[in-house]
């Protein structure tokens, strides 16, 4: 599954740029048993568990995190109150039944505010139950409701068929193919795009 193209353990803050409305007014978003919300300090243990999974990291933009890196990341995201242009913000994906952390969605609003990018990670134990596609749809709704963004892109490794199917179910269409050098090897990536007003798929 695609994640942020740069490791979110150490994002660079963009100073002096506009941010979208406060997240506390927009979140949480609940959708058929899946909740998109801000991170909380008590998410740390579960976050570190899946961000320590080397198999899960295979097609992700992030690398396995140490306990200290995970702690600093969760603290920073728990304090993030907006979606600043030109930077990545990760939102928590949780099970609506017990609010247990299942994964996260990264959102990057471009510096010019015209487009955005989404990446996602879901722990392996929670996969196959629809949580990821519902979280991506919620993230799209958040972006389109709170910004002037007209198109949201996502990038999938050509070897990652489940991620591509998920993006198509969420309303994305493949628009481009490119060659990349990722985690020490050459690969093919597909760029998917969802435009404002695009219908959801099954």
Measured CA to CA, the distance from residue 28 to residue 57 in angstroms comes to 26
Instruction: List, in order, residues 6 or more apart from 53 with CB less than 8 Å away.
Output: 64, 123, 124
SS3 per residue for 76-116: HHHHCCCCEECCEEEEEEEECCCCCEEEEEEEEECCCCCEE
CATH architecture of 23-149: 3-Layer(aba) Sandwich (3.40)
Q: List Cα–Cα distances, 126 to 4, 56, 94, 100, 154, in angstroms.
A: 20, 12, 10, 11, 21
Phi, psi for residue 145 in degrees, rounded to 5: -80, -25
pLDDT in tens, the chain (202 residues): 454 433 333 333 333 345 555 788 899 999 999 999 999 999 999 999 999 999 999 999 899 999 999 999 999 999 988 888 999 999 999 999 999 999 999 999 999 999 999 999 999 999 999 999 999 999 999 999 988 999 999 999 999 999 999 999 999 999 999 999 988 899 999 999 999 987 766 5
Taking the model in full, what pTM does it have? 0.86
């Amino acid at each position: 599954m695609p994640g942020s193209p740069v490791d979110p353990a150490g994002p660079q803050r963009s100073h002096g740029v506009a941010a979208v409305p406060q997240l506390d007014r927009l979140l949480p978003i609940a959708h058929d048993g899946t909740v998109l919300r801000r991170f909380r300090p008590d998410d740390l243990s579960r976050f570190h568990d899946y961000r320590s999974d080397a198999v899960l990291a295979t097609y992700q933009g992030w690398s396995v995190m140490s306990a200290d890196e995970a702690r600093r990341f969760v603290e920073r995201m728990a304090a993030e109150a907006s979606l600043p242009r030109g930077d990545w913000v990760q939102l928590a994906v949780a099970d609506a039944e017990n609010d247990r952390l299942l994964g996260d969605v990264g959102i990057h609003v471009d510096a010019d505010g015209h487009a955005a990018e989404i990446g996602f990670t879901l722990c392996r134990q929670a996969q196959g139950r629809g949580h990821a596609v519902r979280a991506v749809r919620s993230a799209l709704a958040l972006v389109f409701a709170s910004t002037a963004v007209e198109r949201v892109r996502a990038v999938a490794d050509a070897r990652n068929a489940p991620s591509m199917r998920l993006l198509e179910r969420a309303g994305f269409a493949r628009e481009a193919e490119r060659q990349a050098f990722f985690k020490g090897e050459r690969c093919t990536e597909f760029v998917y795009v969802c435009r404002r007003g695009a219908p959801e798929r099954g």
